[in-house]
Structure 1
Amino acid sequence: MKKQVLISAVIASAIVLGGCATDDPNKRAKRGALLGAIGGAAIGQMAGKDTKSTMIGAAVGAIAGGAVGTYMDKQAAELEEQLAAERARDELQIQRLSDNALKIGIASDVSFDVDSATLKPNAQATFTRIAEVLKDYDSTIIHVVGHTDSTGSAEYNQNLSERRASSVVSTLTGNGVKPARLRQEGRGEAEPIASNDTKAGRTQNRRVDIVIKPVIEGQEQQAAEPPPYLGA
């Protein structure tokens, strides 16, 4: 079975690469991308990994277990440097989670107008800087999770949180983050980090969380699993 997978991958690459026009200026890039994807899938199958792990392995490179801490530390340091102004204004927080993941919690009030899922210009600049760092650390899966306060109906809040997460994902992909690395979801009013009984608390609950999970060798599927509860 392993041989069949490997042979199939080689045949597929030969057929597709053979069909590339000789004068195609992007032939080398296309060839590298194709071989990388096919090679990742073949290796994943040969190692007995499930479909999800195979897909993740083909999309991004995995990190050796012993190097994960250093990899995520460097990424956190660069994010802190790039987002120092926002952190000083208390517009976002960067946290280390227990599973080597990073969380960037961003206040919705500085990102969106009330009842809107359109990013404000200043927020566009913030997410652009986030994207610049994420592009350089591509052995991660990025989860974008929208949240709201409890004002209004639960159905409305769920929809708004989903649309806001989608806007952030669009901005990240528009600035070069590969779509295959991104996951998005809305959790509505279900995961507050403060009391919804006060204006200040509701302000804190209206937010977008970006959870950055490392893709670790042998544990690839875990990176794609939704983050756990993100409330207080």
Structure 2
Amino acid sequence: MNITFIRSTLCATAFAVAASGCADMNATQRGTATGAGVGAGLGALLGATTGGGGGGRTSRGALLGAAAGAVVGNVWSKRMEQQRQAMEQATRGTGVEVSQTADNRLKLQIPSDISFDTGRADIKSNFRPILNRFATTLNDNPAAFVTIIGHTDSTGGDAINQPLSLDRAASARSYLAQRGVASNRITVEGRAAREPIASNDDPAGRARNRRVEIYVSEPQQQG
């Protein structure tokens, strides 16, 4: 690893952090700038490790990476804001948390008392109206993609919890697909008990850890 590589990577990383934190940027600009900075870092890595052609090669790699990064960034568009408002209204009083993430994704955090009974992956009746409204917002925004992540508490061990967490995410995807959302727009993951948000030492903490997280992203389109 040479000094050119180190300098290029550090500069790209600093650019990404600085760009994403600029106070005078709107949400769309921050998402695009962050993606471009990360892309530049990847380009620097590529340039430094694929041929030893000196600083010129590294610089070209960083520029190409920045262009690719602009595609990687997410847009917080008018449609994304409309989705956020619609889901806040649909989930008011249910305990579902609706937020915008730092990388311009819409996040729905759905607790276990809304989504699934203990040890089961079939969708509860009070989760269905939320998913119905969510499907409508997705059909209104065909540029958006979805990631659904299932989580469990630590009871039962990974051999049980891993397939259970994945089955819960898959159940939500199937429900959305039945309401017109193309399944190839939805990625599912199961993370069992590996990412707790509370202690598993008491019932209240375990209940918080049994949850489903849904992320919606609208990728930046390069002009």
Shift of 1:69: 4.1
Please state whether the residue corresponding to 1:68 is helix, strand or coil: coil
Q: CA deviation at 1:107?
A: 1.0
Given that 2:97 and 2:109 are in contact with CA atoms closer than 8 Å, whether structure 1 keeps it comes out as yes
For 2:208 and 2:201, the matched residues in 1 are separated by 12
- Please, what is the CA RMSD of the aligned residues? 2.4
8 Å CA contact 1:194, 1:201 repeated in 2: yes
SS of the residue corresponding to residue 177 of structure 1 reads coil
Taking structure 1 as the reference length, what is the TM-score of the superposition?
A: 0.61
Question: 1:53-93 CA deviation, whole Å, 9 max, x = no partner?
Answer: 9xxxxxxxx9x98x634332222112112222xxx132x11
Contact conserved, 1:68 with 1:216, CA < 8 A, in 2? Answer: no
Distance 1:180 1:159 in 2: 21
Tell me the amino acid that sits aligned with residue 94 of structure 2.
R
2:109 matched residue in structure 1: 105
Match of 1:154 in 2: 158
Evaluate the alpha carbon distance shift between residue 110 and residue 79 of structure 1 in structure 2; reply closer, same or farther with a 3 A threshold: closer
What is the letter of the counterpart of residue 197 of structure 2? Answer: I
- Residue 83 of structure 1 contacts residue 129 of structure 1 at CA under 8 Å; is this kept in 2? no
Q: Does residue 89 of structure 2 align to residue 81 of structure 1?
A: yes
In 1: Cα distance, 2:130 partner to 2:86 partner: 14
Query: How many residue pairs end up in the alignment?
Result: 154
Specify whether residues 138 and 202 from structure 1 end up closer, same or farther in structure 2 by C-alpha distance, changes over 3 A only. Answer: same
- Kindly indicate whether the alpha-carbon contact (under 8 Å) linking 1:69 and 1:100 is maintained by their aligned counterparts in 2: no
Percent of pairs with identical residues:
37
From 140, 152, 162, the counterpart of 2:144: 140
Confirm or deny that 1:209 pairs with 2:213: yes
In structure 2, list runs of 5 or more residues that go unmatched: 1-67
4+ residue runs over 4 A deviation: none
